[in-house]
Amino acid sequence: MASPVRRGAARRDELSDALVALLLAEGFAHLTLDDVAARLRCSKRTLYGLASSKEQLVTAAVVRFFRAATTHVEAAVAARSTPPERLAAYLRAVAAELAPASAAFFEDVASFAPAAEIYQRNTRAAARRVREIIGEGVESGDFGDVHVGFAAEVVASTMEAIQARRVAATTGLDDAEAYEQLATLLVRGLRS
């Protein structure tokens, strides 16, 4: 039988996962702590066990979402052997991880500075990772002779435009669709 500490930790993980799912589906700006407690079928006191305010609760959920996404994306990359395969896997895994997130979630993230900073920090880390993969591909000859720094800057700028909602505003693509398009464009373009 599980100890009370383990049951408590399991319950916190379960609630945290449910919170992430709720925020991804609906966003968070319009939700009160009472709304969240009702939707998660728990008390506000239980929520205060996760964080001391709605802002901290949202921040913790956004961190949890991106931490899990990073783990899944890196697992997808590890399953591939060549730089073109790894690059495509990386960007398509990012797209898959972002797919469950609603437009409301992304709009709320963009409007809430702590969450926007978390997304921006993860976007910068993703751009560095893509740069590494492009560098490996140029070095191995799998990609054409491109300036790695320039290619990485183009990717980073595009990722930042996705994160800042500029791509959604100008193209109508959601973040997941934009990453899918970026994957197709990069892999095809870098192989020539």
Domain that holds residue 182: 55-191
Local confidence band at 159 (pLDDT 50, 70, 90 cut-offs)? confident
Whether 140 is covered by a domain: the verdict is: yes
Q: Structurally, how many domains does the chain consist of? A: 1
- Token couple for 37: 């407690």
Local confidence band at 110 (pLDDT 50, 70, 90 cut-offs)? very high
Mean pLDDT of the chain: 91
Whether 10 is covered by a domain: the verdict is: no
Euclidean distance between CA atoms 105 and 103, whole angstroms: 5
- pLDDT for 9 equals 78
3-state SS, one letter per residue, for 87-121? HHHHHHHHHHHHCCCCHHHHHHHHHCHHHHHHHHH
The pTM score is 0.86
Span 68-94, average pLDDT: 94
**CATH number, domain containing residue 167:** 1.10.357.10
Non-local (6+) Cβ contacts of 114 within 8 A are 55, 58, 59, 62
Structural contact between residues 101 and 24, judged by C-beta atoms closer than 8 angstroms: yes
